[in-house]
Structure 1
Amino acid sequence: MASMDETFRSPPAQGGPVDLLVVGGGINGTGIARDAAGRGASVVLVEQDDLASHTSSASTKLIHGGLRYLEYYEFRLVREALIEREKLLRIAPHIIWPMRFVLPYTPQARPAWMLRLGLFLYDHLAPNMTLPRCKSLDFRTNSAGRPLNGTLARGFAYSDGWVQDSRLVVLNAMDAQARGADIRTRTRLVKARRVDGVWEAEIEDTRDGSRTTLRARALVNAGGPWVSEVLRERAQVSSTKQVRLVKGSHIVVPRLFDGPQAYILQNPDKRIVFAIPYEQEFTLIGTTDVPWTQAPGHVEISPEEITYLCESVSRYFTRSVSPDDVVWSYAGVRPLYDDAAKNASAVTRDYVLDVDTQGDQAPMLSIFGGKITTYRRLAEHAIEKLQPFLPVLSVPGWTADRVLPGGDLGEGGFDAAVARLSARAPFLDAKSCWRLVRNYGSRAHDIVGDARSLADMGEQFGAGLSAREVEYLIASEWAQTTQDILWRRSRLGLHVTDEDAARLDAYLRARQPRAATAAS
């Protein structure tokens, strides 16, 4: 039998149907495409914009069990997420790493006994936990109390994980492609219908408007905020399941505190807000929960949300934060499964998978809800739902212990990997070596290639971004625009100047004729 690291399935016959058409290039769509391709299925994934261009790049960037979900008795979800946290730390150690969270105690929010009980459950709900367990803190003596105002005397510390969310999406797409999947960005599903036992889908290249038709034995609707639109308007399928859109917004300010720890802050309204070290020089603050009834495409933070987040952190830290301190903000629409909860914060973060066959016709699997931490397990559940219709998927699950691209850091882990890159490329400064390994892991060596000097890396676009890195992102990671490169493949948009971004934009425009010639 062929290795799971090989592409061992045969492509479909000319004009014949593929096994699986996945609609949506967020974390759930790319995770399912990766899992299915690795089991031998022929897979096409279409994404109307760039990979992770919406919800999957607008998260709080945590790989976590969801401590606050215990308050809503979501024990199964928290246990599954904690188990997944351990697996993701192993398969993507370059873009996912542990982080310690400090929870100040305020009697006006939740009683101390409730916090202790919740943290005890958090430490013990899942077996074989490797991260440090929770402990009590005295802010009068512990360094974690230094940034906090003098009214806070004690609190707790516990462990969770941090993730570069949009990179997690891209790495799943890369691995899916390496295993034979056809990943098509800037490609929109126009309509789909069942014809002769398969799905016949019309897809459109959003750059030039050209349309093609492909056939698939099964269709996965991973449209995220567009899941209902794909169901009812593009595929003409009815469902009793509903999606509930909730906008979550974040702000980024200059760094509020020293140290690697993050803070989880309880507000008087019982909501929680995170303050997290971000990109070395900043603090990420979020999130909000605001019901969203408009189209999900273009979403921005509101002035009221900015004020809410600023007041939330100012309530705790000695250094107050005002809207004038905000250097960047982002917002995304979370497609939660509608469980009829009145409060947006209380809506379940669990997921529901709905299979429609209209009798015995070609299946369509739609995904409602979910969170980035449980994407891999969601993909396994989706494959299990599709196995009765696609026997090729009956191969056992495999994604729990196969590292994502770049995750093979080698002996000594991340720090040793940075040291090896620095020895190979002594012309790169320490910050650039750290960033390249943190973004690309072992693939950083592919970017450096045969370069022997900084000049060999090509034109420099600020913050260590070189033409070699840009070309790598275009060739290997579907990047096409300045926005793709500066904000989704990296967060260098926070570090480069407007002049740097303009030079990158000019570079990309200048190379487009070359790319078109090469493709023809």
Structure 2
Amino acid sequence: MESYDLLVIGGGINGAGIARDAAGRGLKVLLCEKDDLAAHTSSASTKLIHGGLRYLEYYEFSLVRKALQEREGLLDAAPHIMWPLRFVMPHDAEQRPAWLIRCGLFLYDHLARRRRLPGSERIRFDRHPAGSPLKSRYHQGFVYSDGWVNDARLVVLNAMDAAERGASIRTRTACVAAQRDGDGWLCTLDGEHGQQQVRARALVNAGGPWVQQLLGGVIHAPARKAIRLVKGSHIIVKKLFDHDFAYIFQNPDKRIIFAIPYEQDFTLIGTTDVEYHDDAARVAIDNDEIAYLCAMSNRYFAQQISPADVVATYSGVRPLLDDEHDNASGVTRDYALELDGDGAPLLSVFGGKITTYRKLAEQAVDQLAPLLGNTRPSWTAGQHLPGGDLPDGDFDAFVRSLQQAKPWLPPALATRLARTYGSRVHALLGTAANLAALGAEIQPGLYEAELRYLVDKEWATCADDVLWRRSKLRLHLPAGAGDAVERWLAAYRSSQPAGSVRETQAHQG
């Protein structure tokens, strides 16, 4: 029977972050995830690295400060999947008054130190490129800074770093039973090859929307805190503007939505906040949410959209720490860590947001490590994620150097691969000296070499893993692209010695 220091249940951003931090301190770590990495909440965010400007209205100053402190460090850690973004807020006199917005932006600029993100400013739309897509009734607004993140890839990179530091990562593997056994935990895992029992000295419940279900139905431990499930949905439409600014819109219901340039050809619009009481694995946008997001976009943009213009949607369930707030939009985005030391340690994660995941993971391992006799200090602050070690953090310069080194790569493909893999693109390309060396082109711009890399290094097992979570190629490829990818994956798996792909995935490093 295999034994570990730490078993982490849940392959979302918090679970992957905790596994990475713990493995980097020398603990023997196993992470299990019942589906794919980032299969649920962590791939369904608005994809922002941000302090949460609107949380200031709810007096969440501590949360905003913590998120702002993390913001620039994350942008430095992986500049290929995270980058600065300027947000434009048109001033609507019927909503929050200008003086209140100015005060909020002043706080936002000064609650934490900024090294490279410019501060806020007031703008006139007749003199600014962000004014052209807006209705003529909007004359002025405000601009401030935050960041963008490819959320699902952030999870994968944390898992990769954990694996390279010795962790075992097992996707499509559920923890179906866990009980204290002496000074540790005896856990039953159910995966591709059936059930297996493992031992762990400590257990982390990072189940996200399922954290309470795991406590009640698998771990059989009491929960002193609760979560509140809130559905957030997004729509994707053909791009509504041609500049690099994003928008934040105030709405009559006092909520805000974002309109963000997305995947070169699209605009991402979201999010909703809807109380959710059904199965978190089956969450989906409904017609009312689509109509709501279209209406809020139409309130500001001159180009009007309807549900017929929506080319894709996605929804996620946020497991928010229940603070008994009446309004779903006002529920705190902060987190709580509950440590149960009545026997072998159990730590459960309630709430959280992507921007603060690294700090959450650090605090979680700070609590657990001493109980396991580990005194190594925290280490993740200022450390790059896999592929993030670009010279001077300059993505554009990195793309130019890649094109010089591989002039046979089409420019669009070189840019996409650099955006997706950063410096790890060289491991993907290997010694290839031409496109033919990358293997067959399974779909436009998607070659066998990339698919092999995703299977062998990033735990991809199906078309959705490849075309949606580890890339957004599904938006750019023709209908039926998934079928072609599924056929290739099946053929690749059948060509490998039994268990070899799983062993590579589970025990990287």
Q: Which stretch of the first structure deviates more once superposed, 435-444 or 410-419?
A: 410-419
Does 2:389 correspond to 1:408?
Answer: yes
How far did residue 462 of structure 1 move? 2.9
Q: Does 1:363 align with 2:349?
A: no
The equivalent residue for 2:368 is: 386
Say if 1:20 and 1:178 are closer, same or farther in 2 by CA, change over 3 A. Answer: same
Query: What is the match of residue 155 of structure 1?
Result: 141
Among residues 432, 439, 461, which one is paired with 1:458 in the alignment?
439
Q: Distance in 2 between matches of 1:432 and 1:375?
A: 31
CA distance in 2, matches of 1:45, 1:387: 16
Query: 2: CA distance between counterparts of 1:378 and 1:495?
Result: 35
In 1, distance between residues paired with 2:249 and 2:370? Answer: 46
C-alpha distance in 2 between matches for 1:163 and 1:142: 25
Q: Counterparts of 2:285 and 2:481 in 1: how far apart (Å)?
A: 26
Task: Kindly provide the amino acid, as one letter, of the partner of residue 48 in structure 2.
Answer: L
CA shift for structure 1 position 109: 1.3
AA in 2 matched with 1:512: R
Q: Give the match for residue 109 of structure 2.
A: 123
Does the aligned pair in 2 maintain the 1:148–1:317 contact within 8 Å? yes
Mapping of residues 407-486 of structure 1, within 5 Å: 407-411=388-392, 413-486=394-467
Q: Does 1:316 align with 2:306?
A: no
Structure 2 residue 321 is matched with structure 1 residue 346: no
CA RMSD of aligned residues (A): 1.2
Structure 2 equivalent of residue 138 of structure 1: 124
* 1:25 and 2:7 aligned: no
| CA deviation vs aligned residue, 1:128-170 (integer Å, no higher than 9, x gap) | 4420100001112222111000000110000000000000000
Find 2:354's aligned residue among 367, 372, 380. 372
Equivalent residue number for residue 193 of structure 1: 179
User: Any gaps of 5 or more consecutive residues in structure 2?
Assistant: 504-509
For residue 297 of structure 1, give the secondary structure of its aligned residue in structure 2: helix
Within the candidate set 77, 81, 84, 2:70 is matched to: 84
Does 1:299 find its partner at 2:283?
yes
Relative to 1, partners in 2 of residues 1:387 and 1:504: Cα closer, same or farther, differing over 3 Å? closer
What amino acid sits opposite 2:190 in the alignment? E
1:325 aligns to 2:309 (yes or no): yes
**Which TM-score applies when normalising by structure 1?**
0.95
1:293-317: CA deviation from partner (whole Å, max 9, x where unpaired)? 1111111100000000000010000
How far apart are the structure 2 equivalents of 1:417 and 1:386? 39
Within 5 Å, which residues of 2 pair with 1:218-237?
218-237=202-221
The whole-number CA distance in structure 2 between the counterparts of 1:245 and 1:517 is 40
User: Matches of 1:309 and 1:280 in 2, distance apart?
Assistant: 21
Q: Which amino acid aligns with 1:454?
A: L
1:49 and 1:254 map into 2 onto residues whose CA distance is: 30
Distance in 1 between the 2:443 and 2:433 partners? 20
Q: Provide the C-alpha distance between the structure 2 equivalents of 1:91 and 1:71, rounded to a whole number of angstroms.
A: 30
Conserved 8 A contact 1:289-1:344: yes
Distance in structure 2 (CA, Å) of the matches to 1:410 and 1:226: 40
Compare 322-331 and 442-451 and name the one that shifted more: 442-451
Distance change >3 Å, CA 134–CA 463, structure 1 → 2: farther
Structure 2: distance between partners of 1:505 and 1:384 = 42
Paired residue for 1:12?
none
Shift of 1:518: 5.9
Q: Secondary structure at the match of 1:116?
A: helix
Contact 1:251 1:326 (C-alpha < 8 Å) held by counterparts: yes
SS at match of 2:367: helix
In structure 1, how many angstroms separate the alpha carbons of the residues matched to 2:128 and 2:275?
39
State the Cα distance separating 1:461 from its structure 2 match: 2.7
Match of 2:472 in 1: 491
Match of 1:34 in 2: 20
Contact 1:79/1:126 (<8 A) preserved: yes
Deviation, structure 1 residue 516: 4.9
The sequence identity of aligned pairs, in percent, is 55
Spell out the pairing of 1:259-270 with structure 2 (5 A cutoff). 259-270=243-254
The equivalent residue for 1:63 is 49
Counterpart amino acid of residue 35 in structure 1: D
8 Å contact kept, 1:463–1:495:
no
- CA shift, 1:465, in A, is 1.2
Amino acid at match of 2:322: D
* Superposition deviation, residue 348 in structure 1: 0.1
Residues 194 and 362, structure 1, Cα contact 8 Å, conserved in 2:
yes
